[in-house]
């Protein structure tokens, strides 16, 4: 389901990545740098997966919304 070129299913997936990364960074001071880097790498991996699964415009707009506000 797409609303203004933002795919809602993939938006939920990206929100989960954002939530997981934020929780790990806030709650675990010892692994702060590693978890932040892992979250960034996971976000780019989700982008590649989205580019394969969705039309390019929908994938880029959905990912850009989370890149700008996340």
| pLDDT tens digits, 44-55 | 898 899 999 989
Q: Tell me the C-alpha distance between 25 and 36, whole Å.
A: 6
63 phi and psi angles, rounded to 5 deg: -70, -35
Higher pLDDT, residue 38 or 70: 38
pTM of the model: 0.77
For the cut 80, the answer to whether the pLDDT of residue 69 exceeds it is: no
Any residues with CB less than 8 A from the CB of 7 and at least 6 apart, and which? 1, 50, 54, 58, 59, 62
Q: Which helix (H) or strand (E) holds 67?
A: helix 56-69
Q: How many helices (H) and strands (E) does the chain have?
A: 3, 2
| pLDDT tens digits, 11-44 | 898 888 888 888 888 887 777 778 878 888 888 8
Q: Tell me the C-alpha distance between 58 and 41, whole Å.
A: 20
């Amino acid at each position: 389901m797409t609303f203004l070129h933002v795919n809602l299913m993939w938006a939920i997936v990206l929100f989960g990545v954002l939530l997981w990364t934020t929780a790990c960074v806030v709650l675990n001071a010892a692994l702060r740098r590693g978890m932040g880097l892992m979250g960034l790498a996971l976000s780019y991996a989700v982008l590649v997966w989205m580019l394969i699964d969705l039309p390019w415009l929908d994938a880029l707009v959905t990912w850009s919304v989370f890149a700008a506000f996340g």
